[in-house]
Amino acid sequence: MTFNPLEQRGIPLDRQLRSWRELNVDPIDPDHCDPYTRCRIITMNGIEVEAILFSHQLARNTVDPEVKRQLARVRYIEAQQQKVVNWLLPGVSSVLETTIAYEQVAVDLTAWVARMEPDPYLKQAYQFGVLEDFDHLYRYANLYEMIEHRKAESIVDGLTEVMPGRPTRLHHRDPVDNVRDPYVKDETNPLSKLHALTIMSAEQQTMNFYMNTGPTYMEPIARQLYQEIGLIEEEHVTHYESLVDPGETWWEQLVNHEYNECYLYHSFMEQESDPKVKAIWELHLNMELEHLHAACDLMRRHDGRDPASVLAPELPNVLTFEPNKGYLRELLDTQMDLTTLGAGYVREAHERFERMQEQIHGGEAPPSDRVMTQHDEMFGREYRVQTEGEHPDPAQREK
């Protein structure tokens, strides 16, 4: 069944305000929930945070007081939505447990987008990035067993494998080599715009999460690992945000943000297994339909264009959280040795890359390597979840 959010009306904006009682939702049970329910929650929090931050930036760049007021009305509702979504996460989960869930999102969301992306250049950008998040999941899972003496399989539940990706020490690149070429807004598939905005938003919230939670640990190796991977998440945000055409007007970007929220709430409503959470996705979708219409009105008024000229005529197939083990193993087998040069990808360690490596590592093992050494000293082995057999790269198999 096709669904065109431009033709649907939702809850009128003046009826969307919720009381504290309505905002105070019960969190999911971390021991009995579907891991992908948690992934959907984390994803939607990132999407809502991006919508709020973008609205603030637009408000700071317009002189029209009525536009500022309209943005403020919608943004306050978006802020309530963000609180409801993020407060679904259980307070009993540790920061490290939430971190592992964040990396499961990064792996399975990015892998799915890479599989579905119609543009070869954009597809390669997602394939490149996902192998790095895959390795982050592996490093954090080993830290988790060291610090909390628990295993990450209780979080990922066998849906996502845990083993080496592209080694984290090799993710540190000269900043200029993290900037990709953007899609061309008037030529690209509308689905590509949604993909780029989704992955950028998800990586942005991971960057912010690590920036703020990293120093809350007492253990030196944990503080150091969050610092290292936090810097790489900054690289990833640069990598993904540069895919978006900077020629899109503020109004075009606004309708893209609202349309993407409709797309994701609709997608997650369609596949959600938790009835309580599903009801929230449905409610928020009906709110977002009105936010989209408000954004479309602003675009018509200030951009002089019909939003239908830049948006998909109907929502694409639902974005799905599902295992991507075979796809990831294929990438592990074929793309482990890639790095970036300018806006492209190469297999050799070029001069700029080697200079960055020398400067940041200073001849010492980085935290991502030392966490594995310390784990091996404690347990005499690595922590892995390899449900589909040995690592596809013989060099990455356990000794």
Structural tokens at position 238:
């640069």
CA 272/CA 268 separation, integer angstroms: 6
Per-residue confidence (pLDDT) for residue 384, from 0 to 100? 98
> Interior CA angle at 260 toward 278 and 315, to 5°?
80
The stretch 356-363 carries a mean pLDDT of: 97
Per-residue confidence (pLDDT) for residue 3, from 0 to 100? 87
The stretch 299-324 carries a mean pLDDT of: 94
Question: Is residue 189 exposed (0-12), middle (13-18) or buried (19+ Cβ within 10 Å)?
Answer: middle
Count, residues in the chain: 399
| Whether the predicted pLDDT of 283 surpasses 90 | yes
Per-residue confidence (pLDDT) for residue 364, from 0 to 100? 97
Per-residue confidence (pLDDT) for residue 335, from 0 to 100? 97
| Whether the predicted pLDDT of 2 surpasses 80 | no
Structural tokens at position 367:
């935290």
> For a pLDDT cut of 90, what percent of the chain falls above it?
97
Per-residue confidence (pLDDT) for residue 82, from 0 to 100? 98
Tell me the CA end-to-end span of the chain in Å, nearest whole number: 51
Closest CA to 161 of 361, 326, 48, 31: 326
| Whether the predicted pLDDT of 373 surpasses 70 | yes
CA 133/CA 249 separation, integer angstroms: 31
> For a pLDDT cut of 70, what percent of the chain falls above it?
100
pLDDT tens, position by position, 34-68: 999 999 999 999 999 999 999 999 999 999 999 99
pLDDT tens, position by position, 179-236: 999 999 999 999 999 999 999 999 999 999 999 999 999 999 999 999 999 999 999 9
CA 338/CA 360 separation, integer angstroms: 19
CA 128/CA 125 separation, integer angstroms: 5
- State the DSSP string of 284-345: HHHHHHHHHHHHHHHHHHHH-S-GGGTS-SS--SPP-----HHHHHHHHHHSTT-EEETTEE
Closest CA to 254 of 303, 207, 208, 206: 303
Asked if residues 142 and 382 have their Cβ atoms less than 8 Å apart, the reply is: yes
Q: Which residues is 339 bridged to in the sheet?
A: 346
Per-residue confidence (pLDDT) for residue 399, from 0 to 100? 80
| Whether the predicted pLDDT of 106 surpasses 90 | yes
Closest CA to 141 of 370, 390, 336, 384: 384
pLDDT tens, position by position, 21-37: 999 999 999 999 999 99
Residue 71 identity (one-letter amino acid): L
3-class SS of residue 350: coil
The stretch 142-171 carries a mean pLDDT of: 98
Asked if residues 43 and 109 have their Cβ atoms less than 8 Å apart, the reply is: yes
| Whether the predicted pLDDT of 397 surpasses 60 | yes
CA atoms within 13 A on the CB side of 261: 30
pLDDT tier, 1 (very low <50, low <70, confident <90, very high otherwise) = low
C-alpha to C-alpha distances, 10 to 15, 85, 290, nearest whole angstrom: 10, 19, 5
CA dihedral 253, 257, 262, 263 (to 10 degrees): 90
Q: Which residue has the tokens 């715009």?
A: 193
| Whether the predicted pLDDT of 282 surpasses 60 | yes
The stretch 91-99 carries a mean pLDDT of: 96
CA atoms within 13 A on the CB side of 120: 2
